[in-house]
Amino acid sequence: MDKIIIHGGKQLKGSIRVSGAKNAALPLICAALLAPGPHRFSNVPSLRDIDTIEKLLASLGAKTHRRDDLFEIDTTTVDQFEAPYDMVRTMRASVLVLGPLLARFGRARVSLPGGCAIGARPINLHIKGLEAMGAEIELDHGYLNARAKKLKGARIHLDVPTVGGTENLMMAAALAEGKTVLENAACEPEIVDLARALKSMGAHIEGEGTDTIAIDGVPSLGTLDYQVMPDRIEAGTLMVAATMNQGDVRIAGMISADLDALIAKLRQAGAEITMEEGAVRVRGPRRIEAVNIITRPHPGFPTDMQAQFMALMTLAKGASVITENVFENRFMHVCEMQRLGADITIDGNTAIVKGVRKLLGAPVMATDLRASASLVLCGLAAENTTEVKRIYHLDRGYERLEEKLRHLGADILRIPE
Ligand code: UD1
């Protein structure tokens, strides 16, 4: 197992390009199950979660091939329909095969994910939606056994705008008979990317990016040749890194409109953010201002940036209030930040962060994907040496983060533990 060693206090400067979005690539690769034939994706990041989805689809009978950022998959030979516990346990997004398998083959067997580090994360809304479309789903030894002769379009109201649920139902509805309307649907940019890809396969979809998505099912779909959108969370993480370290960093390839909520908060914190041709330039302030945030579904402040923003606030002038509204247990990074000298108090889903003048390097442990990024950010700004252990979490969702930061001038190394 590798660990990351950071000697903090270096100013970040230069230009860096963001990778393709993990959270867009995962559903897109699952969408390849909807149509037999060779599909091709570019701008696919090299990450552990992508390895996991590749393994899962290969276990279903698909043939895969990867080279650099290209991901090719032929789903003609798919003849298995099970997402086993071991895979769903390591990556919850594995449940995204449920909708496509059910829509194309009329059957799927998918392990229930169980809890995870950031909360309960049920998939009841995925199930309820598919049942409304006529699927019969029963629980059998921890697995969902789903069957449907032919899915039928339905009007489905989601109690919460679940990202994965919206994606699963949108994919299922693309091949269903008749019209499906998803109300209170998630509006995340990754949903828009998936809808765009499904349309390129021949699906009829309207309203993606709003809370009401209408899908007119078609009898069959064509194959995909698709470029994955840039990773807004990686871009956001790099923006915070620049803000925290009096940096001057150009982040190329990112879509700034996808990060409006974060950009507004970074500006309030004192960052100077300017839009340039094909890039966003972030200049960090001498002194960071305290800013409050509340995480919400898109276009609100993304929960996937909460830990990183908290890292920034540990060094702000004054106190900030950070409220986590999307997941119930997403403050696991707080205890580790306290080890670096951060002054944070938790009360329910709210954290009060009193800025300190400096953080002091220490060994810390990553607990989940975004938490590990937040600890790297703290380490970059801390005095002396910070060691971040258990970085397999980081490798699930950040492509070569330490290399990118080193390129910007950080003193950061990955070494085998
Ligand atoms: C996706 C992202 C994850 C991000 C999250 C919220 C991927 C692969 N992952 O996760 O990085 O943090 O969106 O932006 O894209 N819920 C239910 N019932 C359900 C489904 C969800 O109650 O059936 C609840 C969850 O417990 C959570 C909230 O809805 O409180 C949001 O979860 P959801 O949007 O589904 O997150 P994911 O799709 O798992």
CA dihedral 325, 326, 328, 331 (to 10 degrees): -80
Over its C-alpha atoms, the chain yields an Rg (Å, rounded) of 21
**pLDDT at residue 278, rounded to an integer:** 84
Q: DSSP 3-state assignment of 8?
A: coil
Chain segment 29-78, per-residue pLDDT in tens: 999 999 999 999 999 999 999 999 999 999 999 999 999 999 999 999 99
**pLDDT at residue 194, rounded to an integer:** 98
Whole-number mean pLDDT of the chain? Answer: 96
Between strands 343-347 and 316-317, the pairing is unpaired
Question: Which ranges of 5-147 does DSSP label H, i.e. alpha helix?
Answer: 22-31, 48-59, 85-90, 98-105, 124-132
Residue 28 contacts residue 228 (beta carbons within 8 Å)? yes
Residue spans of the domains in the chain: they are 2-19+230-416, 22-227
Buried b (16+ CB within 10 A) or exposed e, 180-208: bbbebbbbbbbbbbbbbbbeebebebeeb
Task: Judge whether residue 205 has pLDDT over 70.
Answer: yes
Chain segment 184-202, per-residue pLDDT in tens: 999 999 999 999 999 999 9
Q: Is the dihedral of CA 165, 167, 171, 176 positive or negative?
A: positive
What's the gap in Å between 164 CA and the centre of ligand 1?
6
**pLDDT at residue 120, rounded to an integer:** 67
Cβ atoms within 10 Å of 209's Cβ, excluding its own: 17
Residue nearest to ligand 1 atom 19, measured at CA: 123
Atom of ligand 1 nearest to the CA of 92: 39
Residue nearest to ligand 1 atom 7, measured at CA: 23
Residue nearest to ligand 1 atom 12, measured at CA: 304
What's the gap in Å between 287 CA and the centre of ligand 1?
35
What's the gap in Å between 343 CA and the centre of ligand 1?
29
**pLDDT at residue 115, rounded to an integer:** 62
pLDDT band at 345 (very low <50, low <70, confident <90, very high): very high
Q: What six digits make up the tokens of 167? A: 């994606």
Active-site residues, by number, are 116
**Which of 246, 247, 370 minimizes the C-alpha distance to 301?**
370
What are the two backbone dihedrals, phi and then psi, of residue 129, each rounded to the nearest 5 degrees? Answer: -65, -45
Residue nearest to ligand 1 atom 33, measured at CA: 162
What's the gap in Å between 129 CA and the centre of ligand 1?
15
Task: Judge whether residue 176 has pLDDT over 70.
Answer: yes
Task: Determine the Cα–Cα distance for residues 309 and 237; give it in Å rounded to an integer.
Answer: 8
Q: Which residue shows structure tokens 């200049």?
A: 283
Residue nearest to ligand 1 atom 15, measured at CA: 23
Task: Judge whether residue 114 has pLDDT over 80.
Answer: no
Reading across the β-sheet that carries 363-365, which strands appear in turn?
363-365, 385-389, 2-7, 411-416
Residue nearest to ligand 1 atom 22, measured at CA: 122
Atom of ligand 1 nearest to the CA of 123: 23
Topology of domain 2-19+230-416 in CATH is UDP-n-acetylglucosamine1-carboxyvinyl-transferase; Chain (3.65.10)
Task: Determine the Cα–Cα distance for residues 302 and 121; give it in Å rounded to an integer.
Answer: 16
- How wide is the angle at C-alpha 97 spanned by C-alphas 47 and 393, nearest 5°? 30
What's the gap in Å between 120 CA and the centre of ligand 1?
10
Task: Determine the Cα–Cα distance for residues 16 and 249; give it in Å rounded to an integer.
Answer: 8
Q: What six digits make up the tokens of 412? A: 């950061």
Q: Which residues line ligand 1 (CB under 6 A)?
A: 23, 26, 92-93, 119-126, 160, 162-165, 186, 190, 303-304, 326-327
**pLDDT at residue 122, rounded to an integer:** 87
Atom of ligand 1 nearest to the CA of 186: 34
Atom of ligand 1 nearest to the CA of 128: 23
**pLDDT at residue 297, rounded to an integer:** 98
Between strands 2-7 and 385-389, the pairing is antiparallel
Cβ atoms within 10 Å of 279's Cβ, excluding its own: 19
**Which of 304, 290, 287 minimizes the C-alpha distance to 244?**
287
Residue 73 contacts residue 100 (beta carbons within 8 Å)? no
Topology of domain 22-227 in CATH is UDP-n-acetylglucosamine1-carboxyvinyl-transferase; Chain (3.65.10)
Read off the pLDDT of each residue in 106-135 and give the average, rounded to a whole number. Answer: 88
Chain segment 265-282, per-residue pLDDT in tens: 999 999 999 999 889 999
Task: Judge whether residue 118 has pLDDT over 70.
Answer: no
What's the gap in Å between 155 CA and the centre of ligand 1?
21
